[in-house]
Amino acid sequence: MTDGFLLKVYVAATILLMVGMALILVRLIAGPTLYDRALAVNSFGTKIVLFLCMFSLIIGRADGVDIAILYALMNFIATVAILKFFRYRALSEPMAPLPASAKFDALRERRRNERSR
């Protein structure tokens, strides 16, 4: 009875969500700093989660929501991992100041040279 109406609403909302995703994608490509891009990736992930929930209701199967749960968790972990990687240039390092080892000194030296060039 209300299924046709709701389907129209879902499809319209999904299309509008995709417009929002396109806007975020512009910021992802244009973002001047790394942090803008990390923010855009995180926001894009949230929209994908919403999109998956909507999509699984449109096709009437519960499987999409499982993927949405996973995506919500992975999105958070990915954001933190990206930030950690760009701060320490290694994923295995603890969240602490850079250790004063010869390897990292060389790495820092090389990065400074690259930046000054």
Partner 1 sequence: MAADKAHGTQSVGVDIPWDAVLDWGLALASSGLILSGVFFVLAGALGVLRMPDFFTRMHAAGMTDTLGAEFILFGLILQTGFSQMTLKLLLVAFFLFLTSPTATHAIANAALKSGLKPQLGTYKAPDLSQIEGSSNEADSDKAGGH
CB atoms within 10 A of CB 10: 14
Q: Closer to partner 1 at the Cβ: 77 or 102?
A: 77
Q: Do 44 and 92 meet the contact criterion of CB atoms below 8 Å apart?
A: no
Can residue 100 be called a binding residue for partner 1 (CB under 8 A)? no
Kindly tell me which of 73 and 106 has the beta carbon lying closer to partner 1: 73
Which residues have C-beta within 8 Å of that of residue 13, sequence separation ≥ 6?
54
Say how far apart CA 14 and CA 56 lie, in whole Å. 11
Q: Which is nearer to partner 1, 4 or 92 (CB)?
A: 4
Find tokens 């109406």 and name the residue.
5
The pair of structure tokens assigned to 69 is 């749960």
- Residues of this chain that bind partner 1 (CB under 8 A): 1-2, 5-6, 9-10, 12-13, 16-17, 19-21, 23-24, 26-27, 33, 35-36, 38-40, 42-43, 46-47, 49-50, 53-54, 56-57, 62, 65-66, 68-69, 72-73, 75-76, 79-80, 83, 86-87
